[in-house]
Amino acid sequence: MNMLASKVRRALGIAVVYLASSACQTLAPPPKPVLPKAVAALFSGCGPGDGAVTLQLYADGVLAGSLETSWMARSADDWQVELIDPLGRTMLKVHNQGSRLDFAGPLAARMPVISVDAAGTLTLSGHPTGIQLREVPCLLAFTYPKAWLSALAEREGEGGKVRYLFRQPERSMELEISPMQPPESTCTDIFWREYLILSRKLTWCLSGTKRRKASLSGLSGYKLTWVQIDD
């Protein structure tokens, strides 16, 4: 009888250990996704750097203006942008140093109110845009911010389109890669909440390799596009 009881206790002990081990395996977090090299190449630091682009602004789908734009960034926190008309005159100069934005030039008075909130996000007429002030040099350099990589949380999809999800406290980003297009031609949707209940989305697209292009859409009826000017 004692031998039978001993076998029962042993069997129960093995079962408990097995169940505990299975539970641990079930609760273990999935491994962090890794970006393929071709996708990781879309990311870099937001400075130092410089360049020139042709910038176009659309308002409600209608072209509102097109200007050559030169930019120079000593770092993500120290950069300037100049918008130049066909006669070579500086129409707008934007300088950022330590999260302080300064505007100068004939167009400065006609610009919508652009500021920076407590989280470092650019705001347009009081509404967050989903873009951090420190990310402006990345916009103009046709690259996604390298800082996003530490926020990579999930990978969705197999075989066809694949989405990489990045999560930060104030926003989330979804980068979609299609097998029908090269990785250099892709879009990222940036999501955030305004007033805790309103969901907002901005789409940041990159395309091309030799003559690169980019765009931002979802800016309260505005769309920005810019194309690299050959050296």
The reported pLDDT for the residue numbered 20 is: 53
Is 8 contained in some domain? no
Of 131, 92, 137, nearest in space to 115 by CA: 131
43-57, 124-138, 170-184: least confident range: 170-184
Is 127 contained in some domain? yes
Rounded to the nearest 10 degrees, how much is the dihedral formed by the CA atoms of 155, 157, 159, 162? Answer: -60
Whichever domain contains 125, its CATH number is 2.50.20
Contact residues for 139 (Cβ-Cβ < 8 A; gap 6+): 131, 204, 214, 216
Is 201 contained in some domain? yes
Place of tokens 């072209």: 63
Rounded mean pLDDT of 178-192?
87
Q: Which two tokens stand for residue 95?
A: 């300088």
What's the number of domains the chain is made of?
1
Is 187 contained in some domain? yes
The reported pLDDT for the residue numbered 25 is: 53
Question: Bigger pLDDT: 46 or 158?
Answer: 46
64-73, 120-129, 178-187: least confident range: 178-187
For residue range 40-94, list pLDDT tens digits in order.
Answer: 999 999 999 999 999 999 988 999 999 999 999 999 999 999 999 999 999 999 9
Rounded mean pLDDT of 108-120?
90
CA 211 distance to own-chain centroid: 21
Place of tokens 């395309």: 207
Contact residues for 229 (Cβ-Cβ < 8 A; gap 6+): 51, 52, 53, 54, 68
The reported pLDDT for the residue numbered 8 is: 45
Question: Bigger pLDDT: 202 or 209?
Answer: 202
Is 21 contained in some domain? no
Is 69 contained in some domain? yes
Is residue 53 within 8 Å of 227, Cβ to Cβ?
yes
Can you tell me whether residue 172 is helix, strand or coil? strand
The answer to whether the predicted template modeling score (pTM) of the entire model surpasses 0.85 is no
Percent of the chain exceeding pLDDT 70 equals: 86
Whether the pLDDT of residue 203 is over 50: the answer is yes
Question: Bigger pLDDT: 209 or 1?
Answer: 209
Q: How far is CA 9 from CA 4, 5, 12, in A?
A: 9, 6, 5
Rounded mean pLDDT of 157-176?
90
Can you tell me whether residue 2 is helix, strand or coil? helix
The reported pLDDT for the residue numbered 18 is: 53
Q: Please state the length of the chain.
A: 231
Is 72 contained in some domain? yes
Is residue 72 within 8 Å of 82, Cβ to Cβ?
no
Is 32 contained in some domain? no
DSSP string, 60-114: TTEEEEEEEEEEEEEETTEEEEEEE-TTS-EEEEEEEESS-EEEESTTGGGSPPE
Domain region containing 51: 37-228
CA 174 distance to own-chain centroid: 8
